[in-house]
Amino acid sequence: MPTSLIDRTGVVFGVANKRSLAWSCAKALDSQGMRLCLTYATPRLEESVRKLAEELTNPLILPCDVTVPEEIDAVFEKITDEFNHLDTVVHGVAFAKREELAGDFYHTSKEGYMLAHEVSAYSLTAVARRALPLMEGRQGTIVTLTYIGSERVVRNYNVMGIAKAALEASVRYLANDVGPMGHRVNAISAGPVRTLSASGVGGFTKILDHIAKNSPLRRNITTEDVGKACLFLCSDMSSGITGTTMYVDSGYHIMGV
Q: Do residues 122 and 93 make contact, with C-beta atoms less than 8 angstroms apart? A: no
Query: Is residue 157 annotated as a catalytic residue, yes or no?
Result: yes
Q: Is 28 in the site for ligand NAP (CB under 6 A)?
A: no
Express the helix, strand and coil content of the chain in percent, nearest 5 each: 50, 15, 35
For the CB of residue 118, give the shortest distance to ligand NAP in the complex, in Å.
8
Quick one: DSSP state of residue 191? P
For the CB of residue 1, give the shortest distance to ligand NAP in the complex, in Å.
27
d(CA 226, CA 177): 26
Which segments of 108-157 does DSSP mark as H helices, in order? 110-117, 123-135
Q: Could you tell me which of 83, 88, 174, 82 has the C-alpha nearest to residue 123?
A: 174
Q: Which of 52, 93, 127, 171 binds ligand NAP (CB under 6 A)?
A: 93
**Which of 40, 157, 247, 252 is an active site residue?**
157
Q: For residue 5, report the phi and psi dihedrals to the nearest 5 degrees.
A: -120, 25
Q: Which of 63, 80, 95, 155 binds ligand NAP (CB under 6 A)?
A: 95
Per-residue contact flags (x/-) with ligand NAP for residues 107 to 146, judged by CB under 6 A: ------------x-------------------------xx
Question: Which of 43, 180 has the CB closer to ligand NAP?
Answer: 43
d(CA 253, CA 215): 8
Helices (runs of H) and strands (runs of E) counted in the chain: 8, 7
Q: Tell me the number of residues near ligand NAP by CB under 6 A.
A: 28
For the CB of residue 39, give the shortest distance to ligand NAP in the complex, in Å.
7
d(CA 254, CA 241): 20
d(CA 31, CA 188): 19
Q: Is 42 in the site for ligand NAP (CB under 6 A)?
A: yes
Q: Is 92 in the site for ligand NAP (CB under 6 A)?
A: yes
For the CB of residue 6, give the shortest distance to ligand NAP in the complex, in Å.
27
List residues near ligand NAP by CB under 6 A.
Answer: 14-16, 20-22, 41-42, 45, 64-67, 92-95, 119, 145-147, 190, 192-193, 195-198
What amino acid positions are annotated as catalytic residues? Answer: 147, 157
